[in-house]
Amino acid sequence: MNMKMEEAPALAGLRVHLAKVAEVSERLAHVSASAVEGRETLKDYAAQMPNLAALEKAESDAMAAVALGEVDSAIAQKASKALVAARTVAAELGPKIKAAESTIAGLERREAEARAALAELEAAGPAALLAYLKEEMAAEAARYVKAASALMRHHSRLRALGGLAAEVGLPQHMSGTDMKLVIGRMDWLSAFEGQQVPHNPKLLCEAGTALFGQAVLQAAKRDEADRLQAELGISFRAVADKMKAKA
Q: What is the pLDDT of residues 164-214, one digit of tens each?
A: 999 999 999 999 988 899 999 998 999 999 888 888 889 998 887 655 567
End position of a domain, from candidates 110, 139, 168 = 139
Kindly tell me if the per-residue pLDDT of 80 is higher than 60. yes
The Cα–Cα gap between 213 and 205 comes to: 12
The answer to whether residue 1 sits within a structural domain is no
E strand or H helix at 206: strand 203-207
The Cα–Cα gap between 188 and 138 comes to: 9
The answer to whether residue 28 sits within a structural domain is yes
| Residue among 126, 106, 104, 121 nearest 25 (CA) | 121
The answer to whether residue 4 sits within a structural domain is no
Asked whether 31 and 110 are in contact (CB, 8 A), the reply is yes
The answer to whether residue 107 sits within a structural domain is yes
Q: Are residues 98 and 127 in the same domain?
A: yes
Q: Are residues 132 and 156 in the same domain?
A: no
Kindly tell me if the per-residue pLDDT of 1 is higher than 70. no
State the average pLDDT for the chain. Answer: 92
Burial environment of residue 82 by CB neighbours within 10 A (0 to 12, 13 to 18, 19 or more): middle
Q: Are residues 158 and 127 in the same domain?
A: no
Q: Are residues 65 and 107 in the same domain?
A: yes
Q: Are residues 171 and 67 in the same domain?
A: no
End position of a domain, from candidates 139, 163, 183 = 139
The answer to whether residue 215 sits within a structural domain is yes
End position of a domain, from candidates 116, 139, 162 = 139
Q: Are residues 103 and 205 in the same domain?
A: no
Q: Are residues 16 and 132 in the same domain?
A: yes
Q: Are residues 132 and 149 in the same domain?
A: no
pTM: 0.74
Burial environment of residue 213 by CB neighbours within 10 A (0 to 12, 13 to 18, 19 or more): middle
Q: Are residues 195 and 223 in the same domain?
A: yes
The answer to whether residue 3 sits within a structural domain is no
Asked whether 148 and 205 are in contact (CB, 8 A), the reply is yes
Supply the range of the domain harboring residue 20.
9-139
Q: Are residues 131 and 150 in the same domain?
A: no
Q: Are residues 51 and 80 in the same domain?
A: yes
Outline where 68-185 has alpha helix (H).
73-167
- Residue pLDDT, tens place only, 11-64: 999 999 999 999 999 999 999 999 999 999 999 999 999 999 999 999 999 999
Q: Give me the number of domains the chain comprises.
A: 2
Q: Are residues 91 and 174 in the same domain?
A: no
The answer to whether residue 97 sits within a structural domain is yes
